[in-house]
Amino acid sequence: MAIKLQKGGEADLVIQISAAVAATAFVVLVVAVVVSLRKLNQTLDSVDTTLNEVRPKVEALADDSRKTLEEARQLINGVNRKTEQTEPLFESIQSMGEGLRELSSSITRTASTQKERLGNVTALVSSGMDLLRKWRLDKPVRKKGKRVK
């Protein structure tokens, strides 16, 4: 049994098949979009859950960081104040060091001068001792009241 198609009937059949293929492709496309949108929705829900869990931790960390920064500022300010308070002490120590250096130089100069003087006195005493020895050696010896020459 052969079906005879008329010219107009073949065109209608081709149109119907084309429409059916297009409708099937559209349904497949809609199903793929729905599946993708569901997965995207699941991913967004997961991200939202993660953000809700992390947000309090980040806020606590930010608060701790603020407190730590404030404490560091206070410590730095304290160190700066104490440094300013000790500055006169170090200036006094420096002045004292310069004074001690000058005193040491003065003592060294005085000792050097005194050393020269002591050397001169020692030389005089030595010369005097030599003269005394010579004088004793040159002195005539006395015998029972008489002088010997």
| Pairwise CA distance, residues 34 & 42, whole Å | 12
Kindly report, residue by residue over 41-78, the tens digit of the pLDDT.
999 999 999 999 999 999 999 999 999 999 999 999 99
Q: Is residue 18 part of a domain?
A: yes
| Pairwise CA distance, residues 131 & 15, whole Å | 157
pLDDT score for 123: 83
DSSP state for residue 6 in the 8-state scheme: -
Q: Is residue 102 part of a domain?
A: yes
With contact defined as beta carbons under 8 Å apart, do 92 and 99 qualify? Answer: no
| pTM for this predicted structure | 0.42
pLDDT score for 55: 92
Q: 2 pLDDT exceeds 50?
A: no
| Pairwise CA distance, residues 67 & 61, whole Å | 10
Q: Is residue 132 part of a domain?
A: no
pLDDT score for 140: 66
Q: Is residue 125 part of a domain?
A: no
pLDDT score for 5: 47
Total count of domains within the chain: 1
Beta bridge partners of 119: none
Kindly report, residue by residue over 88-133, the tens digit of the pLDDT.
888 888 888 888 888 888 888 888 887 777 888 888 888 888 888 8
Residue 106 sits at the vertex; the CA angle it makes with 102 and 108, to the nearest 5 degrees, is 115
Q: Is residue 94 part of a domain?
A: yes
Q: Is residue 147 part of a domain?
A: no
Domain that holds residue 67: 11-110
Q: Is residue 99 part of a domain?
A: yes
The secondary structure of the chain in percent helix, strand, coil, rounded to multiples of 5, reads: 90, 5, 10
pLDDT score for 54: 92
Secondary structure class of 143 (helix, strand, coil): strand
More confident: 144 or 36: 36
- Residue corresponding to tokens 């002088």: 147
Q: Is residue 89 part of a domain?
A: yes
